[in-house]
Homo-oligomer: A and B are copies of this chain.
Protein backbone atom coordinates (compact mmCIF):
# COMPACT_ATOMS: atom_id res chain seq x y z
CA UNK A 1 0.00 0.00 0.00
CA UNK A 2 1.35 3.36 -0.99
CA UNK A 3 1.65 5.94 1.77
CA UNK A 4 -0.54 9.01 1.17
CA UNK A 5 1.31 12.32 1.59
CA UNK A 6 -0.25 15.77 1.17
CA UNK A 7 1.90 18.77 0.33
CA UNK A 8 1.20 22.51 0.63
CA UNK A 9 3.21 25.02 -1.37
CA UNK A 10 3.69 28.55 -0.01
CA UNK A 11 4.78 30.97 -2.72
CA UNK A 12 4.46 30.34 -6.46
CA UNK A 13 7.57 32.14 -7.67
CA UNK A 14 10.25 30.51 -9.79
CA UNK A 15 10.94 27.67 -7.35
CA UNK A 16 7.35 27.22 -6.10
CA UNK A 17 6.01 26.91 -9.66
CA UNK A 18 8.71 24.40 -10.52
CA UNK A 19 7.88 22.42 -7.40
CA UNK A 20 4.17 22.34 -8.25
CA UNK A 21 4.88 21.16 -11.81
CA UNK A 22 7.39 18.56 -10.69
CA UNK A 23 5.03 17.08 -8.10
CA UNK A 24 2.05 16.99 -10.46
CA UNK A 25 3.98 15.63 -13.47
CA UNK A 26 5.72 12.90 -11.45
CA UNK A 27 2.79 11.68 -9.38
CA UNK A 28 2.68 8.23 -10.96
CA UNK A 29 6.45 7.98 -11.10
CA UNK A 30 6.76 8.58 -7.33
CA UNK A 31 3.96 6.11 -6.69
CA UNK A 32 5.88 3.46 -8.59
CA UNK A 33 9.45 4.23 -7.51
CA UNK A 34 8.97 5.54 -3.96
CA UNK A 35 5.68 3.89 -3.03
CA UNK A 36 4.23 7.25 -2.00
CA UNK A 37 1.04 8.81 -3.29
CA UNK A 38 1.94 12.50 -3.17
CA UNK A 39 -0.66 15.13 -3.93
CA UNK A 40 -0.62 18.91 -3.65
CA UNK A 41 -3.37 19.67 -1.14
CA UNK A 42 -2.96 23.43 -0.75
CA UNK A 43 -1.29 26.36 -2.49
CA UNK A 44 -0.85 29.85 -1.06
CA UNK A 45 0.14 32.96 -2.99
CA UNK A 46 -1.19 36.52 -3.07
CA UNK A 47 -0.78 36.61 -6.84
CA UNK A 48 -3.81 34.78 -8.25
CA UNK A 49 -2.63 35.09 -11.89
CA UNK A 50 0.00 32.45 -11.05
CA UNK A 51 -2.78 30.07 -10.09
CA UNK A 52 -4.34 30.50 -13.52
CA UNK A 53 -1.05 30.07 -15.38
CA UNK A 54 -0.37 26.81 -13.59
CA UNK A 55 -4.02 25.69 -13.90
CA UNK A 56 -4.24 25.09 -10.19
CA UNK A 57 -7.61 23.61 -9.19
CA UNK A 58 -9.82 26.08 -7.28
CA UNK A 59 -10.33 23.75 -4.34
CA UNK A 60 -6.66 23.68 -3.32
CA UNK A 61 -6.14 27.45 -3.40
CA UNK A 62 -5.78 28.52 0.22
CA UNK A 63 -6.51 31.98 1.57
CA UNK A 64 -4.25 32.02 4.61
CA UNK A 65 -1.48 30.13 6.37
CA UNK A 66 -3.99 29.27 9.09
CA UNK A 67 -6.16 27.53 6.52
CA UNK A 68 -3.12 25.62 5.20
CA UNK A 69 -1.96 24.31 8.57
CA UNK A 70 -5.51 23.49 9.69
CA UNK A 71 -5.88 21.19 6.68
CA UNK A 72 -5.50 17.63 8.01
CA UNK A 73 -4.49 16.40 4.56
CA UNK A 74 -1.36 18.54 4.59
CA UNK A 75 1.64 16.60 5.94
CA UNK A 76 4.50 18.61 4.48
CA UNK A 77 4.66 22.37 3.94
CA UNK A 78 6.98 23.64 1.21
CA UNK A 79 8.13 27.24 1.70
CA UNK A 80 9.35 28.93 -1.48
CA UNK A 81 8.55 32.55 -0.64
CA UNK A 82 12.08 33.67 0.25
CA UNK A 83 13.29 36.35 2.61
CA UNK A 84 12.71 36.53 6.35
CA UNK A 85 9.36 38.27 6.55
CA UNK A 86 6.21 36.25 5.81
CA UNK A 87 8.37 33.20 5.11
CA UNK A 88 9.61 33.12 8.69
CA UNK A 89 6.14 33.56 10.18
CA UNK A 90 4.63 30.89 7.94
CA UNK A 91 7.40 28.35 8.58
CA UNK A 92 7.11 28.96 12.32
CA UNK A 93 3.33 28.51 12.19
CA UNK A 94 3.63 25.29 10.19
CA UNK A 95 6.24 23.77 12.52
CA UNK A 96 4.16 24.74 15.58
CA UNK A 97 1.29 22.74 14.05
CA UNK A 98 3.58 19.76 13.64
CA UNK A 99 3.91 20.01 9.88
CA UNK A 100 7.26 19.02 8.43
CA UNK A 101 8.75 21.93 6.47
CA UNK A 102 10.85 21.82 3.29
CA UNK A 103 12.32 25.18 2.34
CA UNK A 104 14.52 26.66 -0.38
CA UNK A 105 15.15 29.78 1.72
CA UNK A 106 18.87 30.31 2.34
CA UNK A 107 18.54 33.56 4.25
CA UNK A 108 15.95 32.05 6.59
CA UNK A 109 18.02 28.96 7.34
CA UNK A 110 21.27 30.89 7.58
CA UNK A 111 19.85 33.36 10.09
CA UNK A 112 17.23 31.38 12.02
CA UNK A 113 18.07 27.66 11.85
CA UNK A 114 18.71 27.68 15.60
CA UNK A 115 15.24 28.96 16.48
CA UNK A 116 13.41 26.92 13.82
CA UNK A 117 15.14 23.70 14.75
CA UNK A 118 14.06 24.05 18.35
CA UNK A 119 10.44 24.52 17.27
CA UNK A 120 10.68 21.52 14.92
CA UNK A 121 12.12 19.28 17.63
CA UNK A 122 9.54 20.37 20.16
CA UNK A 123 6.73 19.56 17.71
CA UNK A 124 8.23 16.28 16.43
CA UNK A 125 8.39 17.36 12.83
CA UNK A 126 11.15 17.78 10.27
CA UNK A 127 12.91 20.73 8.71
CA UNK A 128 14.67 20.15 5.39
CA UNK A 129 16.50 22.68 3.22
CA UNK A 130 18.55 21.00 0.48
CA UNK A 131 17.20 23.57 -2.01
CA UNK A 132 18.60 26.48 -0.01
CA UNK A 133 22.13 25.74 -1.22
CA UNK A 134 23.45 25.19 -4.74
CA UNK A 135 20.06 24.48 -6.35
CA UNK A 136 19.72 20.96 -7.70
CA UNK A 137 23.10 19.74 -6.47
CA UNK A 138 22.36 17.42 -3.52
CA UNK A 139 25.27 18.65 -1.42
CA UNK A 140 23.45 18.66 1.95
CA UNK A 141 22.25 15.06 1.58
CA UNK A 142 25.79 14.12 0.49
CA UNK A 143 27.40 15.74 3.52
CA UNK A 144 24.83 14.19 5.89
CA UNK A 145 24.49 10.69 4.45
CA UNK A 146 27.24 10.13 1.89
CA UNK A 147 30.42 11.61 3.36
CA UNK A 148 29.53 11.52 7.06
CA UNK A 149 32.32 8.99 7.72
CA UNK A 150 34.83 11.81 7.13
CA UNK A 151 36.07 14.76 9.06
CA UNK A 152 35.92 17.53 6.47
CA UNK A 153 38.92 19.84 6.49
CA UNK A 154 38.02 21.98 3.51
CA UNK A 155 35.10 23.06 1.36
CA UNK A 156 35.47 25.33 -1.66
CA UNK A 157 32.69 26.18 -4.02
CA UNK A 158 31.22 28.17 -6.82
CA UNK A 159 27.87 28.82 -5.13
CA UNK A 160 26.53 31.58 -7.37
CA UNK A 161 25.60 31.11 -11.01
CA UNK A 162 25.20 34.80 -11.85
CA UNK A 163 28.76 35.73 -10.94
CA UNK A 164 30.14 32.58 -12.53
CA UNK A 165 28.34 33.45 -15.76
CA UNK A 166 29.75 36.99 -15.68
CA UNK A 167 33.31 35.82 -14.97
CA UNK A 168 33.08 33.13 -17.67
CA UNK A 169 31.98 35.66 -20.29
CA UNK A 170 34.77 38.03 -19.25
CA UNK A 171 37.33 35.22 -19.52
CA UNK A 172 36.10 33.54 -22.70
CA UNK A 173 34.93 36.54 -24.68
CA UNK A 174 37.06 39.34 -23.22
CA UNK A 175 33.91 41.21 -22.19
CA UNK A 176 34.03 43.93 -19.55
CA UNK A 177 32.35 43.35 -16.20
CA UNK A 178 29.57 45.78 -17.13
CA UNK A 179 28.92 44.19 -20.54
CA UNK A 180 28.92 40.66 -19.13
CA UNK A 181 26.55 41.67 -16.34
CA UNK A 182 24.18 43.30 -18.82
CA UNK A 183 24.15 40.12 -20.90
CA UNK A 184 23.42 38.07 -17.79
CA UNK A 185 20.55 40.41 -16.92
CA UNK A 186 19.14 40.18 -20.45
CA UNK A 187 19.21 36.38 -20.22
CA UNK A 188 17.55 36.33 -16.80
CA UNK A 189 20.68 35.04 -15.04
CA UNK A 190 21.03 38.28 -13.06
CA UNK A 191 18.46 40.46 -11.35
CA UNK A 192 17.88 44.15 -12.09
CA UNK A 193 19.57 44.90 -8.78
CA UNK A 194 22.41 42.38 -8.83
CA UNK A 195 23.93 43.39 -5.46
CA UNK A 196 23.00 40.18 -3.65
CA UNK A 197 24.89 38.09 -6.21
CA UNK A 198 27.81 40.26 -7.33
CA UNK A 199 28.73 41.41 -3.83
CA UNK A 200 28.84 37.83 -2.58
CA UNK A 201 25.91 37.90 -0.12
CA UNK A 202 24.22 34.93 -1.78
CA UNK A 203 27.43 32.86 -1.61
CA UNK A 204 27.96 33.96 1.98
CA UNK A 205 24.55 32.64 3.16
CA UNK A 206 25.19 29.32 1.43
CA UNK A 207 28.69 29.02 2.86
CA UNK A 208 27.31 29.63 6.34
CA UNK A 209 24.78 26.80 5.94
CA UNK A 210 27.09 24.31 4.23
CA UNK A 211 30.13 24.86 6.43
CA UNK A 212 27.91 24.49 9.51
CA UNK A 213 26.98 21.02 8.27
CA UNK A 214 30.48 20.12 7.07
CA UNK A 215 32.21 21.25 10.27
CA UNK A 216 29.46 20.13 12.71
CA UNK A 217 29.07 23.49 14.40
CA UNK A 218 27.19 26.67 13.66
CA UNK A 219 29.20 28.94 11.37
CA UNK A 220 27.43 32.33 11.58
CA UNK A 221 27.50 34.39 8.40
CA UNK A 222 28.87 37.27 10.44
CA UNK A 223 32.15 35.32 10.69
CA UNK A 224 32.53 35.19 6.91
CA UNK A 225 34.89 37.62 5.22
CA UNK A 226 33.13 38.74 2.02
CA UNK A 227 34.21 40.50 -1.15
CA UNK A 228 32.37 40.73 -4.50
CA UNK A 229 33.47 40.75 -8.14
CA UNK A 230 32.62 44.35 -9.06
CA UNK A 231 36.25 45.50 -9.13
CA UNK A 232 37.48 42.70 -11.42
CA UNK A 233 38.61 43.71 -14.91
CA UNK A 234 39.31 41.73 -18.10
CA UNK A 235 42.96 42.68 -17.60
CA UNK A 236 43.11 40.77 -14.33
CA UNK A 237 41.50 37.69 -15.79
CA UNK A 238 43.83 37.69 -18.81
CA UNK A 239 46.86 38.14 -16.62
CA UNK A 240 45.83 35.18 -14.48
CA UNK A 241 45.27 33.03 -17.55
CA UNK A 242 48.84 33.63 -18.68
CA UNK A 243 50.03 32.25 -15.35
CA UNK A 244 47.71 29.24 -15.56
CA UNK A 245 44.97 30.52 -13.27
CA UNK A 246 41.20 30.71 -13.66
CA UNK A 247 39.32 33.43 -11.79
CA UNK A 248 36.29 32.31 -9.78
CA UNK A 249 34.18 33.80 -7.01
CA UNK A 250 34.91 31.11 -4.45
CA UNK A 251 33.29 30.43 -1.13
CA UNK A 252 35.98 28.84 1.02
CA UNK A 253 35.66 27.09 4.36
CA UNK A 254 38.60 25.51 6.16
CA UNK A 255 38.67 23.70 9.47
CA UNK A 256 42.21 23.56 10.80
CA UNK A 257 43.97 23.34 14.15
CA UNK A 258 43.84 27.12 14.30
CA UNK A 259 40.06 27.21 13.93
CA UNK A 260 37.44 27.71 11.26
CA UNK A 261 38.25 30.08 8.41
CA UNK A 262 35.39 31.17 6.14
CA UNK A 263 35.55 33.62 3.27
CA UNK A 264 33.97 34.57 -0.05
CA UNK A 265 36.11 36.43 -2.58
CA UNK A 266 37.34 36.43 -6.18
CA UNK A 267 40.08 33.82 -6.33
CA UNK A 268 42.71 32.63 -8.77
CA UNK A 269 42.87 28.84 -8.84
CA UNK A 270 45.10 26.63 -10.96
CA UNK A 271 43.42 25.82 -14.25
CA UNK A 272 43.98 22.12 -13.56
CA UNK A 273 41.78 22.32 -10.44
CA UNK A 274 38.37 20.68 -11.01
CA UNK A 275 36.63 23.95 -10.08
CA UNK A 276 38.48 25.83 -12.83
CA UNK A 277 36.44 24.20 -15.60
CA UNK A 278 33.08 24.94 -13.98
CA UNK A 279 31.78 27.58 -16.35
CA UNK A 280 28.75 29.69 -17.22
CA UNK A 281 25.93 29.47 -14.70
CA UNK A 282 27.02 26.07 -13.36
CA UNK A 283 27.87 25.68 -9.68
CA UNK A 284 30.11 23.20 -7.92
CA UNK A 285 31.20 22.20 -4.44
CA UNK A 286 34.63 20.76 -3.77
CA UNK A 287 35.10 18.94 -0.46
CA UNK A 288 38.18 17.42 1.19
CA UNK A 289 37.53 14.57 3.62
CA UNK A 290 40.16 12.75 5.67
CA UNK A 291 39.19 9.33 4.29
CA UNK A 292 37.63 10.07 0.91
CA UNK A 293 40.11 12.74 -0.22
CA UNK A 294 38.85 15.18 -2.86
CA UNK A 295 35.21 15.01 -3.96
CA UNK A 296 33.36 17.44 -6.20
CA UNK A 297 29.66 17.86 -7.00
CA UNK A 298 28.67 19.85 -10.07
CA UNK A 299 25.34 21.02 -11.43
CA UNK A 300 22.78 23.78 -11.84
CA UNK A 301 22.81 26.03 -8.79
CA UNK A 302 19.57 27.83 -9.58
CA UNK A 303 16.55 27.80 -11.88
CA UNK A 304 12.99 26.64 -11.51
CA UNK A 305 13.25 22.90 -12.14
CA UNK A 306 16.77 22.25 -10.80
CA UNK A 307 15.82 23.88 -7.49
CA UNK A 308 12.48 22.06 -7.54
CA UNK A 309 14.47 18.82 -7.89
CA UNK A 310 16.06 19.57 -4.51
CA UNK A 311 12.74 20.61 -2.91
CA UNK A 312 10.94 17.49 -4.12
CA UNK A 313 13.83 15.18 -3.20
CA UNK A 314 13.53 16.56 0.34
CA UNK A 315 9.75 16.03 0.25
CA UNK A 316 10.29 12.41 -0.84
CA UNK A 317 12.98 11.90 1.78
CA UNK A 318 10.70 13.24 4.50
CA UNK A 319 7.81 11.13 3.16
CA UNK A 320 9.76 7.87 3.09
CA UNK A 321 12.07 8.18 6.11
CA UNK A 322 9.82 8.70 9.08
CA UNK A 323 12.26 7.99 11.89
CA UNK A 324 14.60 10.87 11.24
CA UNK A 325 12.28 13.80 11.52
CA UNK A 326 14.79 16.53 12.28
CA UNK A 327 17.99 14.77 11.34
CA UNK A 328 19.07 17.52 9.00
CA UNK A 329 20.38 19.28 12.07
CA UNK A 330 23.31 17.54 13.70
CA UNK A 331 25.28 19.92 15.86
CA UNK A 332 24.86 22.55 13.21
CA UNK A 333 22.51 25.06 14.72
CA UNK A 334 24.45 26.18 17.77
CA UNK A 335 28.11 27.10 17.94
CA UNK A 336 30.12 25.12 20.40
CA UNK A 337 31.84 27.13 23.09
CA UNK A 338 35.31 26.09 22.10
CA UNK A 339 35.08 26.82 18.38
CA UNK A 340 37.56 29.43 17.17
CA UNK A 341 37.18 31.43 14.01
CA UNK A 342 40.31 32.51 12.17
CA UNK A 343 40.11 36.12 11.04
CA UNK A 344 43.67 36.79 9.90
CA UNK A 345 44.15 34.02 7.33
CA UNK A 346 47.10 33.57 5.00
CA UNK A 347 46.95 33.53 1.21
CA UNK A 348 49.11 34.24 -1.81
CA UNK A 349 47.99 37.36 -3.68
CA UNK A 350 47.83 39.00 -7.07
CA UNK A 351 47.91 42.82 -6.82
CA UNK A 352 47.53 45.16 -9.79
CA UNK A 353 48.93 48.66 -9.19
CA UNK A 354 49.19 51.87 -11.22
CA UNK A 355 52.58 53.52 -10.64
CA UNK A 356 54.35 56.60 -11.99
CA UNK A 357 56.31 55.70 -15.13
CA UNK A 358 59.65 56.75 -13.67
CA UNK A 359 62.81 54.89 -12.85
CA UNK A 360 62.68 53.30 -9.44
CA UNK A 361 58.90 52.85 -9.19
CA UNK A 362 59.21 49.10 -9.17
CA UNK A 363 61.89 49.25 -6.53
CA UNK A 364 59.71 51.50 -4.38
CA UNK A 365 56.71 49.15 -4.61
CA UNK A 366 58.85 46.13 -3.87
CA UNK A 367 60.25 48.00 -0.91
CA UNK A 368 56.82 48.56 0.60
CA UNK A 369 55.92 44.87 0.37
CA UNK A 370 59.26 43.91 1.82
CA UNK A 371 58.87 46.30 4.78
CA UNK A 372 55.47 44.75 5.51
CA UNK A 373 57.09 41.30 5.61
CA UNK A 374 55.62 40.14 2.31
CA UNK A 375 57.79 38.15 -0.12
CA UNK A 376 57.26 38.79 -3.80
CA UNK A 377 57.17 35.83 -6.16
CA UNK A 378 57.05 37.88 -9.39
CA UNK A 379 56.46 41.41 -10.66
CA UNK A 380 55.61 42.18 -14.22
CA UNK A 381 54.80 45.31 -16.14
CA UNK A 382 51.51 45.09 -17.92
CA UNK A 383 50.81 46.96 -21.16
CA UNK A 384 51.66 50.55 -22.02
CA UNK A 385 51.67 53.74 -20.02
CA UNK A 386 48.49 55.79 -19.59
CA UNK A 387 48.64 59.35 -18.29
CA UNK A 388 52.29 58.83 -17.45
CA UNK A 389 51.47 55.72 -15.46
CA UNK A 390 52.36 52.07 -15.91
CA UNK A 391 50.57 49.02 -14.61
CA UNK A 392 52.36 46.50 -12.41
CA UNK A 393 51.10 43.03 -11.55
CA UNK A 394 52.64 41.69 -8.36
CA UNK A 395 52.36 38.04 -7.28
CA UNK A 396 53.21 37.47 -3.63
CA UNK A 397 53.97 34.37 -1.62
CA UNK A 398 51.58 33.45 1.19
CA UNK A 399 51.11 36.22 3.67
CA UNK A 400 48.60 37.21 6.30
CA UNK A 401 45.60 39.30 5.29
CA UNK A 402 46.56 41.95 7.84
CA UNK A 403 50.08 42.29 6.42
CA UNK A 404 48.54 42.69 2.95
CA UNK A 405 46.04 45.34 4.13
CA UNK A 406 48.91 47.22 5.69
CA UNK A 407 50.99 47.11 2.48
CA UNK A 408 48.06 48.19 0.29
CA UNK A 409 47.31 51.17 2.53
CA UNK A 410 50.99 52.19 2.45
CA UNK A 411 51.05 52.04 -1.37
CA UNK A 412 47.84 54.04 -1.72
CA UNK A 413 49.14 56.68 0.70
CA UNK A 414 52.60 56.84 -0.87
CA UNK A 415 51.72 59.14 -3.72
CA UNK A 416 53.58 56.95 -6.25
CA UNK A 417 51.17 54.05 -6.56
CA UNK A 418 47.47 53.28 -6.53
CA UNK A 419 46.10 49.76 -6.03
CA UNK A 420 43.59 48.68 -8.69
CA UNK A 421 42.74 45.06 -7.88
CA UNK A 422 43.67 42.54 -5.22
CA UNK A 423 42.91 38.85 -5.84
CA UNK A 424 43.58 35.89 -3.57
CA UNK A 425 45.46 32.94 -5.02
CA UNK A 426 44.22 29.59 -3.68
CA UNK A 427 47.30 27.68 -4.80
CA UNK A 428 51.05 28.05 -4.80
CA UNK A 429 51.92 31.37 -6.48
CA UNK A 430 53.27 31.10 -10.03
CA UNK A 431 55.81 33.42 -11.66
Residues of A bordering B, CB below 8 Å: 18, 22, 26, 29-30, 32-34, 130, 136-138, 141-142, 145-151, 216, 274, 277-278, 289-300, 303, 305-306, 308-313, 315-317, 320-324, 327, 330-331
A275 CB, nearest partner CB in chain B, Å: 10
> Could you pull out 29 A-B pairs where Cβ atoms are within 8 angstroms?
A18-B291, A26-B149, A32-B331, A136-B289, A136-B295, A138-B145, A138-B146, A141-B142, A145-B145, A147-B309, A147-B313, A148-B313, A148-B317, A149-B309, A149-B312, A149-B313, A149-B316, A150-B309, A291-B305, A291-B308, A292-B310, A293-B305, A294-B298, A294-B299, A296-B296, A297-B298, A298-B298, A320-B324, A320-B327
Q: How many angstroms from the CA of A303 to the CA of B291 in the assembled complex?
A: 10
- B295 and A296 form a contact (CB under 8 A): no
Question: What residue in chain B is nearest A33 (Cβ atoms)?
Answer: B216
Known interface pairs A130-B146, A277-B274; A300-B296 also in contact (CB < 8 Å) = no
Quick one: which of B26, B146, B316, B323 contacts A142, CB cutoff 8 A?
B146
Q: How many angstroms from the CA of A136 to the CA of B327 in the assembled complex?
A: 23
**Leading 6 A-B pairs by shortest Cβ distance:** A138-B146, A149-B312, A136-B292, A292-B309, A291-B309, A295-B299
Q: How many angstroms from the CA of A232 to the CA of B29 in the assembled complex?
A: 42
Known interface pairs A33-B330, A149-B26, A330-B33; A298-B313 also in contact (CB < 8 Å) = no
Interfacial chain B residues near A324, Cβ < 8 Å: 320-321
Quick one: which of B141, B151, B303, B323 contacts A141, CB cutoff 8 A?
B141
Q: How many angstroms from the CA of A262 to the CA of B306 in the assembled complex?
A: 26
Known interface pairs A291-B312, A305-B292; A141-B149 also in contact (CB < 8 Å) = no
- A136 and B300 form a contact (CB under 8 A): no
- B295 and A297 form a contact (CB under 8 A): yes
Quick one: which of B289, B292, B316, B323 contacts A148, CB cutoff 8 A?
B316
Interfacial chain B residues near A310, Cβ < 8 Å: 149, 292
Interfacial chain B residues near A313, Cβ < 8 Å: 145-149
Interfacial chain B residues near A305, Cβ < 8 Å: 290-293
Interfacial chain B residues near A317, Cβ < 8 Å: 145, 148
- A32 and B291 form a contact (CB under 8 A): no
Q: How many angstroms from the CA of A315 to the CA of B146 in the assembled complex?
A: 11
A24 CB, nearest partner CB in chain B, Å: 12
Q: How many angstroms from the CA of A190 to the CA of B324 in the assembled complex?
A: 42
- A151 and B29 form a contact (CB under 8 A): yes
Interfacial chain B residues near A320, Cβ < 8 Å: 324, 327
Interfacial chain B residues near A146, Cβ < 8 Å: 130, 138, 141-142, 146, 313
